[in-house]
């Protein structure tokens, strides 16, 4: 297949491209940051500079590439600055998930491409009731907490638009697998506390496992939503001390709920105390996906327990220097 990967130079995109090429697909990959074109060429993709929010440019780029399938991995997560209001933190990513998705779907519709796989997110989106681990069929949170409503709505938009067009939305767990993983610095600096009882569940996935699931989804028929997460959803009070220890950091601080609410906002309190994790049973069953790192326990040790020089460095990390 000829595959158009939007966001090919990012943390997940740069793992997807080599796996697609290994399976015999041809890849056109988009990038934003200078220097990433050469790196995409190195891994065998045809690079194209593209702003996904520019509808005309998206149309021209896809028409020129003449793909059989589209993968949407463009986000602005790596450069996000955390504030008390997560909707502000994720504003650009929310636009990429709404306008960006719509721009890609418009040209997919125009050219008759129905094979479409897009990035969504698994943890902390479900109704905060019942058990701690949720499937794709469990209800999403009908009343997301203050400061997270636009972010939740953007993911919902992406999933409805993509599946409505016959494609697949992948609800990934929190990515890890590279030196610049979002959690590394905050955990090293003890800026990521255990809030209250630390009972909020997270789901994780290693970037290589997430990429493998993406390739399988692309080769799968029919519209669907899949949780692409490891086998062990876990509360913050379990995984955070393990991550801190593996990174050689001091143990995490403990914040009472009122203090976390004051400094980090309602979204952070929800994530730390009442967020739900996700089940990967459907992805395993229907995609035939088996994660190489079934738990963050092995994954964190494999990625962060090694000397820095031997860790994987994704394309965009190197480009950002
Ligand atoms: N630092 C933090 O606070 C934080 C927070 C959450 C997550 N994260 C990390 O972020 C990563 C998320 O993985 P990811 O692959 O989704 O993100 P990523 O590594 O930032 O990759 C995003 C991709 O989208 C592209 N892109 C950005 N803006 C675009 C636009 N307007 N139009 C088209 N393409 C655009 C990027 O291009 P270029 O790379 O070429 O610019 C890149 O290819 C994880 O590693 C996670 O740990 C960090």
Q: Is 33 a pocket residue for ligand 1 (Cβ < 6 Å)?
A: yes
223 close to 167: Cβ distance less than 8 angstroms: yes
Average pLDDT value for residue range 171-194: 94
Q: How far is the CA of 182 from the centre of ligand 1 (A)?
A: 10
Average pLDDT value for residue range 287-312: 84
Average pLDDT value for residue range 156-175: 98
Q: How far is the CA of 9 from the centre of ligand 1 (A)?
A: 8
Tell me if the pTM is above 0.85: yes
Q: Is 12 a pocket residue for ligand 1 (Cβ < 6 Å)?
A: yes
Least confident of 73-82, 139-148, 211-220, 229-238: 73-82
Average pLDDT value for residue range 272-296: 98
Q: How far is the CA of 80 from the centre of ligand 1 (A)?
A: 9
Distances (CA, A) of 197 to 106, 131, 202, 256: 46, 16, 14, 8
Vertex 252 angle, CA 246 and 257, to 5°:
145
Write down the pLDDT at residue 160: 98
User: pLDDT at residue 310 above 60?
Assistant: no
Mean pLDDT, all residues of the chain: 93
Instruction: Tell me the pLDDT band of 316, cut-offs 50, 70 and 90.
Output: very low
Which residues are paired to 4 by β-bridges? 28, 70
Q: What DSSP state is assigned to residue 62? A: H
Percentage of the chain beyond pLDDT 90 is: 89
The C-alpha torsion from 1 through 105 and 39 to 90, rounded to 10°, is -140
Q: Is 51 a pocket residue for ligand 1 (Cβ < 6 Å)?
A: yes
Q: How far is the CA of 307 from the centre of ligand 1 (A)?
A: 25
Q: What DSSP state is assigned to residue 294? A: S
Instruction: Tell me the pLDDT band of 80, cut-offs 50, 70 and 90.
Output: confident
304 close to 244: Cβ distance less than 8 angstroms: no
Average pLDDT value for residue range 71-75: 98
pLDDT one-digit tens code per residue, 103-119:
999 999 999 999 999 99
Distances (CA, A) of 212 to 215, 279, 281, 283: 5, 17, 16, 11
């Amino acid at each position: 297949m000829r595959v158009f990967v939007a966001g090919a130079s990012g943390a997940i995109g740069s793992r997807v491209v080599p796996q697609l090429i290994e399976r015999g697909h041809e890849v056109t990959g988009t990038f934003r940051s200078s220097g990433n074109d050469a790196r995409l060429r190195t891994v065998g993709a045809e690079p194209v500079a593209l702003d996904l929010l520019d509808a005309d440019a998206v149309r021209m780029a896809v028409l020129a590439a003449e793909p059989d399938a589209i993968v949407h991995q463009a986000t602005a997560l790596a450069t996000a600055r955390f504030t008390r209001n997560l909707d502000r933190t994720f504003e650009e990513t929310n636009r990429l998930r709404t306008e960006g998705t719509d721009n890609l779907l418009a040209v997919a519709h125009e050219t008759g491409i129905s094979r479409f796989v897009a990035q969504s997110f698994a943890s902390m989106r479900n109704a905060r009731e019942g058990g701690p681990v949720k499937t794709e069929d469990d209800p999403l949170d009908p009343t997301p907490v203050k400061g997270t409503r636009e972010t939740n709505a953007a993911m919902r938009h992406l999933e409805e638009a993509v599946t409505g067009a016959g494609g697949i939305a992948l609800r990934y767990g929190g990515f890890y697998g590279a030196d610049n993983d979002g959690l590394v610095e905050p955990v090293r600096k003890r800026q990521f506390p255990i809030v209250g009882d630390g009972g909020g569940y997270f789901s994780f996935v290693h970037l290589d496992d997430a990429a493998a699931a993406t390739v399988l989804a692309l080769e799968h028929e029919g519209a669907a939503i899949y949780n692409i997460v490891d086998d062990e959803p876990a509360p913050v009070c379990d995984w955070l001390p393990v991550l801190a220890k593996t990174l050689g950091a001091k143990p995490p601080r403990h914040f009472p709920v009122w203090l976390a609410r004051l400094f980090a906002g309602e979204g952070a309190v929800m994530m730390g105390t009442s967020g739900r994790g996700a089940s990967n049973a459907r992805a395993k069953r229907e995609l035939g996906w088996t994660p190489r790192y079934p738990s963050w326990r092995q994954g964190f040790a494999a990625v962060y327990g090694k000397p820095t020089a031997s860790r994987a460095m994704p394309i965009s990390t190197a480009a950002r220097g």
